[in-house]
A and B are shown apart, each in its own frame.
Chain A
């Protein structure tokens, strides 16, 4: 999958998980930029992403997701 495809899929997942159709994403988006994305909902997001892409992240990887870009790169690595 290309980075653009991943980002587009993520956009849908974000919008659905946080129940906010107005969310916009870029590689540099962080939790501070998205209303409702905090340490409690983070696992909801991770779970949704894993379900959609059919991947499974390790704890170490999840802890290193600082922005959407990190998430994209990790997904790409797992789906390569």
Chain B
């Protein structure tokens, strides 16, 4: 594919990419291609309509058509059954003889991502920030560009569309950078995420059978698993695009180094956070500022984060996940001045580490809702992972910290002890790499080094990949389901 890309003359490249992207997408289900084509057509024509429209009312009409059509499709595929079953429960509770129809659709892969991408484009055209794209082929490519089609990053038209018009030469450094990034992403996913998944999946599939330490360990593993899974995918996407000369947006920036919840959201799934900020939070808070700034901010935060939780999936656990984050942000905002006074006497380093510790605990806690299959599972896990572990630790102390007792604590995790130890080592390895990444760009630091050093590292990583990769338990990318 890539060699074809560089062999083909620039003018024809978009055709190749478009064909490849559709072929890629249809390898899931052919019908999905029809859906994305329908969305593409609707947005293409409505945005030209917005551009040409004389009156404000006409512009809004076109925006309405695009937004209703696209979010409508998203709603039907993703949320209809959720709404239906909730209504059904209500109807049953009230013993109405109503039967809400259940639709049996599979969720088209990537629909949450590309829908958001084209709605942002529609609104940008409406706001006058972007001119409507007339070249249909390139616009269609913008919608379905295969590296970012399935799980983002959600690109802005201003960033991505112009790149399809630029000619990209084969640049050895850029291509190898892209390949390195893809490999690192794959490593994170296959070696780290999938190994952690063994424990997490085992525990979360039947949490009520377990108590104490296994629940806690799985809940600590999960944030690292989802980070390696999702950022791994993003690295593969960004790396693949980079090989061909396209620059996609960075989606992650060492999120667990965040010292506060707002900072966390500036570092996690950045393209989604900025989308919600530009198209939901900011318009909402600006519109409601007359209610009083504090009320407006709280309102806008809760709306934005509840919906962003819901974006992940049609489950109460995701809604609660979003609401907890929204509440945390509200509290953070409202208590800012007071906290600043309270913590002024602490040495900055101590304060910094306290914040870090708090954030990690908070993430472990709120991610239980993200991962749990049901609300009742989540509500079981949270108290039990704490009280159970305390009890386990007391038992451990009473047993004099004997090796047998320690091993006993790790029982019930669904994986042999060596695997669990390996998983923990991998987390430490990940964090060390991230610490290094905070200081330097690894691939640039490697470049001037002698060949034997670079290639030893590559071979070492390759060997580790083959040895440690969880090939027996390869798990689908978590964010493919969104």
Contact = CB atoms under 8 A, between A and B. Distances in A.
A, B co-complexed:
yes
B124 to A, nearest CB: 11
Interface string B180-200: 000000000000000000000
B286 A62 contact: yes
B293 A47 contact: yes
A3 B293 CA distance: 27
Interface stretch (B22-30, B275-283, B307-315): B275-283
A46 B333 contact: no
B286 A59 contact: yes
Contacts of A47: 289, 293
Interface stretch (A6-14, A22-30, A35-43, A69-77): A35-43
Contacts of B282: 39, 59, 62-63
B329 interface: yes
A66 interface: no
A59 B289 contact: no
A43 B278 contact: no
B323 interface: no
Contacts of B286: 43, 46, 59, 62
B58 interface: no
Nearest to B332: A40
Contacts of A5: none
Interface string A30-69: 0000001011110110110000000000011011000000
Interface in B226-279: 262, 277-278
A19 B248 CA distance: 38
Interface string B324-350: 000001000100110010000000000
Contacts of B336: 36, 41
Contacts of B278: 63
Size class of the contact patch on chain B: 20 to 34
Contacts of B277: 39
B256 to A, nearest CB: 20
B468 interface: no
Contact of B337 (A19, A40, A46, A62): A19
Interface in B275-311: 277-278, 281-283, 285-287, 289, 293, 296-297, 301
B297 A40 contact: yes
B11 interface: no
A43 B262 CA distance: 15
Contacts of A40: 262, 297, 301, 329, 333
Interface residues of A, number: 14
B127 A60 contact: yes
Q: Which secondary structure dominates chain B's binding surface? A: helix
Q: Which secondary structure dominates chain A's binding surface? A: helix
A43 B297 contact: yes
B343 to A, nearest CB: 14
Nearest to B285: A43
Contacts of B262: 38-40
Nearest to A62: B286
B344 to A, nearest CB: 12
A47 to B, nearest CB: 5
Contacts of A41: 333, 336
Contacts of A36: 336
B28 to A, nearest CB: 36
B85 to A, nearest CB: 35
Contacts of B127: 60
Contacts of B289: 43, 46-47
Contacts of A39: 262, 277, 281-282
A74 to B, nearest CB: 14
A8 B285 CA distance: 27
Most chain A CB within a 10 A radius of its CB, from B282, B285, B329, B337: B285
Contacts of B340: 19
Contacts of B297: 40, 43-44
Nearest to A48: B293
Most chain A CB within a 10 A radius of its CB, from B262, B286, B337: B286
A63 B404 CA distance: 61
Nearest to B288: A43
A38 B289 CA distance: 16
A40 B296 CA distance: 10
A60 B123 CA distance: 12
Nearest to A64: B129
Contacts of B281: 39
A68 to B, nearest CB: 19
A19 to B, nearest CB: 6
Interface of B: 127-128, 262, 277-278, 281-283, 285-287, 289, 293, 296-297, 301, 329, 333, 336-337, 340
7 contacts: A38-B262, A39-B262, A40-B333, A43-B289, A46-B289, A59-B283, A60-B127
Given A46-B286, A59-B286, A63-B278, 10 more contacts: A19-B337, A36-B336, A39-B277, A39-B282, A44-B297, A47-B289, A47-B293, A59-B282, A60-B128, A62-B282
Interface of A: 19, 36, 38-41, 43-44, 46-47, 59-60, 62-63
